[in-house]
Amino acid sequence: MSDVSFSVTSVHVHPVKSCAGIAPSEALVTETGFDLDRAWMVVDAEGRFVSQRELPRMALVRTELRHGDLVLRAPGMLALHVSPDRVEQRARVSVWDDNVEAWDMGALCAQWFSDFLGRPLRLARFDPETRRLASREWTGAVEAETAFQDGFPLLVASVASLGEVNRRLVEAGEAAVTMARFRPNIVLDGLEAHDEDHLDEIALSGPDGEVRLKLVKPCPRCPIPDVDPTTGVPGHAVGDVLRQYRADARVGGAVTFGMNAIVLEGGGRRVAAGSAGSGIYAFA
């Protein structure tokens, strides 16, 4: 791979879908993306997932992986420690159009989220024995597995793309935002703004060897980038800016930021912040 070179600025894991993520120095690649990324999901009484789209205060739920446990914190709440290996009972949950087997994490977790978010909710753990596949319309011959991600194992964005959004925000009299708004897994530096849109494959030189990813689909953006991750308050400025210049015909004219990616090679290896990478452009 030699069309373009870049570096990995940061890696991100979001253990609970739609709650705050973490930025470790490195992340393990598994068959469903980064280890424990979107491994848990908050669901309503019918098992349907909920997100910042309807509950923006989910942005205030901070996550930490410590000594093998998931630790959850939120304003006004005692810390909740969740063991990845302790589950209560089987559950059937839905994420978008997929109904999948999962594990219910029990009454304590349910009460914690219900108290903080103000409605009856439960916490579900993705069942590692379940096989949920990304859309073959976009992955082609590759059967790419996911956990509770919206649709694909990984999301790739670039420093320059965020810089262009922020340039336009400031030009419009709005405050600049951080990459946390866009919830990527891998952030690249050394590309031009939105150059990731045109990459086909990328190779990352991790500490255990090379990880190869294929960038398969532009990521349509919902209202979540307009939620301030520090306050949980929704706005409109980011969406307004994206609508000015980011309509993408490849996804029916939806506004996009970042590229969904699948793993071609490198399961069991790590991607680290500071790693070098290279990519091949996919020109139509």
Q: What is the pLDDT of residue 2?
A: 58
Mean pLDDT of the residues in the chain: 96
Please, which residues have CB within 8 angstroms of residue 49's CB and are 6 or more apart in sequence? 17, 18, 41, 42, 43, 93, 94, 95, 96, 148
Banded pLDDT at 265 (limits 50, 70, 90): very high
- Given a cut of 80, whether residue 1 has pLDDT beyond it is no
How far is 281 from 284, CA to CA, in rounded Å? 10
Specify the pTM.
0.96
Which of 160, 218, 165, 170 lies closest to 193, judged by CA? 160
What DSSP string describes 26-81? Answer: EEEEETTEETTTT-EEEE-TTSBB--TTT-GGGGG-EEEEETTEEEEE-TTS--EE
Q: What is the pLDDT of residue 87?
A: 80
pLDDT tens-digit readout, 15-60: 999 999 999 999 999 999 999 999 999 999 999 999 999 999 999 9
Given a cut of 80, is residue 283 above it in pLDDT? no
Query: pLDDT value at position 84?
Result: 83
Whether the pLDDT of residue 62 is over 80: the answer is: yes
Domain that holds residue 200: 4-281
pLDDT for the residue numbered 158: 98
What single DSSP character describes residue 127?
A: -
**What would the mean pLDDT of 54-79 be, rounded to a whole number?**
96
Query: Which domain CATH number covers 243?
Result: 2.40.33.20
pLDDT at 256 over 60: yes
Amino acid type, 227: V
pLDDT of residue 68: 85
Q: Is the pLDDT of residue 270 over 60?
A: yes
pLDDT in tens, 119-163: 999 999 999 999 999 999 999 999 999 999 999 999 999 999 999
Q: How many domains does the chain have?
A: 1
Question: Has residue 230 got a pLDDT over 70?
Answer: yes
Query: Percent of the chain scored above 70 by pLDDT?
Result: 99
Q: What is the pLDDT of residues 76-93, one digit of tens each?
A: 999 999 998 888 799 999
